[in-house]
Amino acid sequence: MTPHPILFSPIALRGVRLRNRIVLPPMLTYSATNGYINEWHVAHLAKYAIGGVGLVFMESTKVDPRGCTTPNDLGLWKDDFIDGMRQVTSVLHRFGAVAGIQLGHSGRKARNTLPWEGRAPMDQCPGVDHGEPWEIIGPSAIAHSPRASVPRAMSRADIQSQVEAWGQAARRAVQAGFDVVEIHGAHGYLLHQFLSPTANQRTDEYGGSLANRMRFVIEVVDEVRRALPDDMPLFYRTSAVDEDGWSLDDSVALACVLKERGVDVVDCSSGGMTPQSIVSHATPQGFGYQVPYAERIRRESGILTMAVGLIMHADQAEAVLQEARADLIGVGRELLHNPHWVLDAAVKLGVADAYSKVPPSYGYWLKKRAEAGFEDHLSTRRDGIGRAADMTPRGD
Q: Which residues lie closer than 8 Å to 267 by C-beta, 6 or more apart?
A: 25, 182, 186, 235, 236, 237, 238, 305, 306, 308, 330
**How far is 104 from 69, CA to CA, in rounded Å?**
10
Name the CATH superfamily for 15-372.
Answer: Aldolase class I (3.20.20.70)
| pLDDT at 219 (0 to 100) | 98
With left for phi above 0 and alpha for psi between -120 and 50, is residue 62 left, alpha or beta?
A: beta
**How far is 166 from 182, CA to CA, in rounded Å?**
11
- At residue 176, the 3 state secondary structure works out as coil
Q: Which residues lie closer than 8 Å to 109 by C-beta, 6 or more apart?
A: 69, 144, 148, 188, 189
Contact 352, 329 (CB under 8 A): no
Which pTM does this prediction carry?
0.95
Half-sphere exposure of 16 (CA within 13 A, CB side): 27
| Positions in the chain whose pLDDT score sits under 70 | 1-3, 277-284, 383-396
Name beta bridge partners: 237: 184, 267
Does 289 participate in catalysis according to the annotation?
A: no
**How far is 31 from 361, CA to CA, in rounded Å?**
30
**How far is 154 from 105, CA to CA, in rounded Å?**
13
| pLDDT at 124 (0 to 100) | 82
CA 132 vs CA 106, 122, 380, 395: distances in Å: 17, 15, 48, 69
C-alpha 366: how far from chain center: 30
Closest CA to 221 of 179, 272, 253, 184: 184
Q: How many residues does the chain have?
A: 396
**How far is 318 from 307, CA to CA, in rounded Å?**
12
What would the pLDDT profile of 213-222 be if each residue is shown by its tens digit? 999 999 999 9
242 phi, psi to nearest 5 deg: -135, -175
Closest CA to 93 of 102, 85, 81, 104: 85
Half-sphere exposure of 328 (CA within 13 A, CB side): 29
**How far is 44 from 27, CA to CA, in rounded Å?**
11
- At residue 112, the 3 state secondary structure works out as strand
Dihedral angle sign, alpha carbons of residues 133, 136, 141, 142 = negative
Bridge pairing between strands 11-13 and 16-18: antiparallel
Hey, where are the domains in the chain? Answer: 15-372
Q: Which residues lie closer than 8 Å to 166 by C-beta, 6 or more apart?
A: 63, 103, 105, 183, 220, 223, 224
Q: Among residues 30, 189, 293, 355, which one is catalytic? A: 189
